[in-house]
Amino acid sequence: KNEVEQSPQNLTAQEGEFITINCSYSVGISALHWLQQHPGGGIVSLFMLSSGKKKHGRLIATINIQEKHSSLHITASHPRDSAVYICAVEKLTFGTGTRLTIIP
Amino acid sequence: NAGVMQNPRHLVRRRGQEARLRCSPMKGHSHVYWYRQLPEEGLKFMVYLQKENIIDESGMPKERFSAEFPKEGPSILRIQQVVRGDSAAYFCASSPGVPNTGELFFGEGSRLTVL
């Protein structure tokens, strides 16, 4: 069974700061997902990664298959980025999430 | 083009009643996943279905819970004889293509409250 750990659990930052959220897993995978859950509860898929790096607007996701580690970066953070960010492996195992709060 | 549709969005049941949650995947998607999120907890995988087949139900409680994805119509998650501990948000997601290579698209969730 894959174990997924995220860090930090909570993160508060000022608007404009560069944000990094980390995810480590224990067993080799073929795909890793980054999800965003807003305070209202809805979940949006941000990225699906199997190797390398993906960029979408101010969001960047990277994965290192050998080290079993992925990072989600947010550049020029904005209060609307405030949400819980969740890492998931193989659609089956989820991290506990990182609660991000961006202060204006 | 509708996304993943879940209904009802909110459901209240008394202990011992049955709850039926429905999920219509995105058009063209044949893979459906159900997840549960208990209050203040993370998402937990329950079951993965393709049309008319249960592929992986390793996350489903052994009793009272069942899921189906018939040839026609939505996927159904059924909880019999609900208990207070079943109160949670139940999310459905659909995906195209081969397992583990398709992006996930989530519904808005169904929030079950058991009185």
pLDDT at A6: 95
pLDDT tens, N- to C-terminus, chain B (115 residues): 579 999 999 999 999 999 999 999 998 888 999 999 998 888 999 999 998 899 999 999 999 999 999 999 999 999 999 999 999 999 999 988 665 567 889 999 999 999 9
* pLDDT score recorded for residue A86: 96
Task: Give the Cβ contact number of residue A22 at 10 Å.
Answer: 15
Residues of chain A with pLDDT under 50: none
Instruction: Using a CB–CB cutoff of 8 Å, tell me whether A103 touches chain B.
Output: no
Q: Does A90 touch chain B (CB under 8 A)?
A: yes
3-state secondary structure of B89: strand
Measure CA A34 to chain center.
5
| Residue A1 buriedness (CB in 10 A; 0-12 / 13-18 / 19+) | exposed
The pLDDT of residue A56 is: 94
**Rounded to a whole number, what is the distance in Å from the CA of A78 to chain B's nearest CA?**
24
Query: Phi/psi at A80 (nearest 5 deg)?
Result: -70, -10
Q: Is B20 left (phi over 0), alpha (psi -120 to 50) or beta?
A: beta
Of B46, B21, B3, give the one whose Cα is nearest residue A94: B46
pLDDT at position A78, please? 96
Are the Cβ atoms of A42 and B109 closer than 8 angstroms? yes
pLDDT attached to residue B101: 60
pLDDT score at A10: 96
Name the residue of chain A whose CA is nearest to B92's CA: A43
A93 in contact with B, Cβ within 8 Å: yes
Burial of B99 (0-12, 13-18, 19+ CB in 10 A): middle
A42 interfaces chain B, CB cutoff of 8 Å: yes
Give the pLDDT of residue A73: 98
